[in-house]
Amino acid sequence: MVAALIIWLGVATGAANAASVKVDGWSSGSRGHRAVFDNRVGSSFDDAVHFALPIGTFGHHSTVSMNHDNGIKVENIELWGGGRLLHSGSGDDSGSHLSFLADSNTKDYELRVRGRSDSGDAAYCGEIVVSAIPEPQTYAMLLVGLGLVGFSARRRKHN
């Protein structure tokens, strides 16, 4: 009887801390498409942030960034899409960051955020950004690759 009560309390407490977090609508700007989310948390939390990427953004570089109050420890952050784990990580003292390439086969995503708050009442916020243009690192890699191809072609010509 006591064991059943303890299990029921554990399940009820876990269910009370689990939340589905709403993503505000998408806005467009010079950085691409952007959506924000936030949540107030108690002592521990296990939240799910559901979102779908805007139409026409598949194949674009996407990032999820989170910031949080002092006293929050993000123990695990996972990005799920199409029923599979795409990326996972943990937070530091100020936030978390995940990057992914938008997949044309994956329309709906879920960001799972688990952690705890030492203060008992704290908040986190985040943003999802889908870049309108490739990141500068993409262009740098392209230029390095073209340079290497040119160098090897020139070397072959001299031999």
pLDDT in tens, 35-60: 888 888 888 889 999 988 877 776 67
Residue in 87, 92, 15, 4 with CA at minimum distance from that of residue 46: 15
| pTM of structure | 0.65
Q: Are 147 and 47 in contact (CB under 8 A)?
A: no
Cβ contacts of residue 126 below 8 Å, gap of 6+? 36, 37, 38, 49, 64, 65, 66, 67, 111
| Total Cβ atoms within 10 A of residue 14 | 11
What was the pLDDT predicted at 133? 60
What was the pLDDT predicted at 142? 81
Domain ranges across the chain: 18-144
The correct CATH number of 18-144 out of 3.40.50.2000, 3.40.50.9100, 1.10.760.10, 2.60.120.380 is 2.60.120.380
What was the pLDDT predicted at 134? 60
What are the angstrom distances between the C-alpha of 105 and each of 52, 57, 81? 12, 12, 9
What was the pLDDT predicted at 1? 40
- Rounded Cα–Cα distance for residues 69 and 51 (Å): 23
What was the pLDDT predicted at 48? 92
What was the pLDDT predicted at 5? 30
Q: How high is the mean pLDDT in each 10-residue block of the chain (159 residues)? A: 35 51 81 85 87 75 80 85 84 72 77 85 85 69 86 80
